[in-house]
Amino acid sequence: MNYLIYKLKFTSAVHFGKSMLSDSEYVLCSDTVFSALCIEAVKMGENTLYKLIRAVKSNELLISDALPYIGDKMLLPKPHLLVEHGSEENSSVIKKAYKKLKYITIDDFGSYLNGSFDVLNAIQMDELGVSALKVSASIRNENNETMPYEVGTFSFYDDCGLYLIAGFEGEESQKLFETLIDQLQHSGLGGKRSSGYGRFEYVTASPVEWMVERISGDAENYMLLNTALPTESEIEDVLQGANFTLIKRGGFVASSEYSDSMQRKRELVMFKAGSCFSRRFSGDVFDVSTKAGSHPVYRYGKPMLMRIS
């Protein structure tokens, strides 16, 4: 499989929702990115959505979470793996720093795993951008009265943004992905896109050789680079020796053809990026539609695993 990195530079603020409209994250899970690609595929017609689903199910296309980059430093999730960091780890300052740590630069990843990582000089996420609350108003009743509401936003600093790792088996899957992401940069990623949030430009780059080597091949331990879920037949085996964090994935269906009213997707509990396993798994694209809807709704659950030791 061939891998490329897509560096997204956002030209507007973003709204990457959490539990409330007034919240905003600065990263995007791979299932959210995939849902956005599905919406663009439907717009294109000509069975484009079918081609996208088929490419993913047959492992011809894989994507990571949208992960942060700061300048020329690309960040990876902190692995959920017990690592000995020497006698200084007993210091309360060191403990707090490790607890606060969420992402590690690719350059520092090796030193983190071998216990020589300087956590007090680790890159800080406040270097990525700034959160804000925007107050807007909407008409809520027949008297045209307006009600204020708050939207959480995140604005990336110059030379900062998110990157995707995409794996392709053949030129056809790469062409399909790039056609969709070309459209997506104008539609935007995340929520409140009709208000102009989430627009971006992107450039492609080859991943560092170290990363490509670790995504391929077998090892004693693997770390997830995205949000993923094993199939029912895989789950029991995958849980053996695993260290993981779970995340509940839900939300509303974006399709206007799905139902006459807003409908929620069926919730799934998935493994979060950074979760570690001793076994590979295949995952799937899951249908999270409900009986209230008129067509399938897809959630991406294929894993992108990186070898760690």
Domain boundaries along the sequence of the chain: 1-71+128-209, 217-309
Q: What is the pLDDT of residues 97-116, one digit of tens each?
A: 888 999 999 999 989 988 88
Alpha carbon distances (Å) from 301 to 63, 138, 231, 244: 10, 35, 9, 15
Per-residue pLDDT reduced to its tens digit, 222-251: 999 999 999 999 999 999 999 999 999 987
Model confidence band, residue 137 (pLDDT cutoffs 50, 70, 90): low
How far from 85 is each of 49, 91, 94, 205, 278, CA to CA, in Å?
47, 11, 10, 33, 22
Query: Which residues share a beta bridge with 305?
Result: 224
- Ranges assigned E (strand) in 191-264: 200-205, 221-224, 246-249
Question: C-alpha angle 113/304/265, rounded to 5°?
Answer: 125
* List of residues 6+ apart from 289 with CB closer than 8 A: 253, 258, 265, 266, 295, 296, 297
**9: β partners:** 201
| CATH topology for the 1-71+128-209 domain | Alpha-Beta Plaits (3.30.70)
Could you tell me if 5 and 207 are in contact, meaning their C-beta atoms sit under 8 angstroms apart? yes
